[in-house]
Amino acid sequence: MARSTAKRAFKYRFYPTDAQAAELSRTFGCVRLVYNRALAHRTAAWFTEQRRINYNEASAALTAWKKDPDPAFLNEVSSVPLQQGLQHLQTAFRNFFDQRAEYPRFKSRKKSKASAEYSRSGFAYSDGQITLAKMAEPLDIVWSRPLPEGAQPSTVTVSRDRADRWHVSILCEDTITRLPASDQAVGVDTGLTSLVTLSTGEKVANPKHERRDRAKLAKAQRELSRKAKGSANRDKARTKAARVYARIADRRKDFLHELSTRLVRENQVVVIEDLTVRTMVKNRKLARAISDAAWTQFRSMLEYKAAWYGRELVTIDRFFPFSKLCSACGTLQETLALDVREWTCSCGVTHDRDVNATINIRAAGLAASACGAGVRPQREPSRTGRSATKQEGHGATRDGAQAPNHR
């Protein structure tokens, strides 16, 4: 059975001691400070001198900042996450100049994620324990699943979310066994009433995770609004609200993982529509429901799991008239209102709107896959830094990319 190697991140909860929590909190603040200073330095150099500053110059500036009496506290934390912060800024600028992302923004203490990344020189891994630089004790990690046998972590990222939960993400090489070849293919149409409709006729109901906890969330937000700004009670109320959000996000992610894994395991080819969620959430009446459905997250999972397990993900042009095209005879209806969920073709076949669309999506995807679509140049996703090949034909793309943009 074919195997492949890939870098995978394994994320775990951990519970720091008071000393570790204090050290990591200082490190988070220093990483944010260095990132913001370097961003301001590079921005000023460009607008005043039309000069680009690279990573080496930013690193030299960091050395100078450490000698300055004002930010001398930068010497109290490990230098590794500070250097990694500069690397992240360099990547952000590279993505901006390559027109893959917007101009880098300053990190906010309240809004930005509190995290620090340690490269191989910034931590020790031995006997299943990880000890970070500047710390005497290993992290108390809850090993909910084992690391790959013989794994040697290359980076360790420590983070604290708004719900005051601590996580460690360990990046290492993993051997992935590709799934046996299958002759099954499925078309997938995303929606709000049914989260997905499959070309087999199956409809997966939308769990509506956010709606289930909407009352709890509203109560937590009301309590937060009543607390005085800057008070300890407000911080407690903010954490309480964040925990409700975290429960919603965790349930949503777990559900999408199960669904995407099932589709990839059962089908050799998965065909989806290429929809622009960013544009769709501008609809004020549906924005909340669309965000809760998390179509972008679902597509992202399908993309990397298909790449891992040797499956093919085909992306179809969103402007193709899937709903109005009869999957039995090929007749195209001139008009079909959005509120019409069933319709009868002139050939006498009665269609469920969504199921008919998925059958057409599947047919178009298989045609594109069989014909061999034109190859587009390799591109580098902005967040991962890894290249991905995207192949495109008329109305469809065979997509292994990691930049989701769909309904």
User: DSSP letter at 230?
Assistant: T
Q: Choose the catalytic residue: 23, 273, 274, 399.
A: 273
Q: What's the order of all strands across the beta sheet hosting 269-274?
A: 203-205, 194-198, 185-190, 269-274, 312-317, 396-399, 390-393, 374-375
Under 8 Å between Cβ of 328 and 348: no
Residue 374 makes CB contacts below 8 A (sequence gap 6+) with: 391, 392, 393
Is 189 labeled as catalytic in the residue annotation? yes
Alpha helices by DSSP H, 267-402:
277-280, 287-293, 295-309, 353-371
User: DSSP letter at 149?
Assistant: T
Alpha helices by DSSP H, 227-318:
232-266, 277-280, 287-293, 295-309
Closest to 82 measured CA to CA, from 129, 40, 121, 126:
121
Phi, psi for residue 391 in degrees, rounded to 5: -115, 135
Is 273 labeled as catalytic in the residue annotation? yes
Q: Map residue 45 onto helix, strand or coil.
A: helix
Q: Choose the catalytic residue: 23, 303, 354, 399.
A: 354
Under 8 Å between Cβ of 305 and 260: yes
Q: Choose the catalytic residue: 23, 117, 189, 274.
A: 189
Q: Which amino acid is at 371?
A: C
Is 174 labeled as catalytic in the residue annotation? no
Catalytic residue positions, numbered = 189, 273, 354
